[in-house]
Structure 1
Amino acid sequence: MDDEALSNWKLILTPAGEEWSGRARYAAAMYFYRAGEMSAEVLEIYRICSRIDHEDAVDALKAYKMGDAWIEKVERMRGALG
């Protein structure tokens, strides 16, 4: 993993509740979308959650029962970087 990818993983894993965390996660989501690692539907959930700092987009994905492959990837990275 290169430095840019690692930096974006750290951003997308920013804990919910921190000021501007929703926007940070959305910015990283755009990186992963452009890299072909995230679907447009998952990106849209990050966009919707971007203005709600206390809402974790992964929790929203789970609630809407979508983005299973992305959720698995995020959970693996949380364990690796957590």
Structure 2
Amino acid sequence: MDEETRRNWEIITMPPGTEWSGRARYAAAMYFCQRGEMASDVLEVYRICSRLDAEDPVSVLKRWQIGAEWIARLKAYRSE
């Protein structure tokens, strides 16, 4: 994994609640979407949550029952 990808994984897995974390997660989500690694509907959830630092986009994805592939990728990354 190259440095830029590793850094974006770190950003997108930031815990909710930190100031500006929502915007940072959205920027990382755009990175993954542009690479074809994230669906546009998942990116939209990150966009909606971008101004809500305390909101966990993964929880929203689960509530809305979308992004199962992305959620699985996050779990795989966290277990590495």
Q: Does residue 30 in structure 1 map to residue 30 in structure 2?
A: yes
1:53-75 Cα shifts (integer Å, max 9, x gaps):
01111110000000000000011
Q: What residue number does 1:62 align with?
A: 62
* Secondary structure of residue in 2 paired with 1:17: coil
| Runs (5+) with no aligned partner, structure 2 | none
Give the drift of 1:77. Answer: 1.1
Aligned length: 80
State the superposition RMSD in angstroms.
Answer: 0.6
Give the drift of 1:78. Answer: 1.8
| Runs (5+) with no aligned partner, structure 1 | none
One-letter amino acid matched to 1:30: M
Identity %: 55
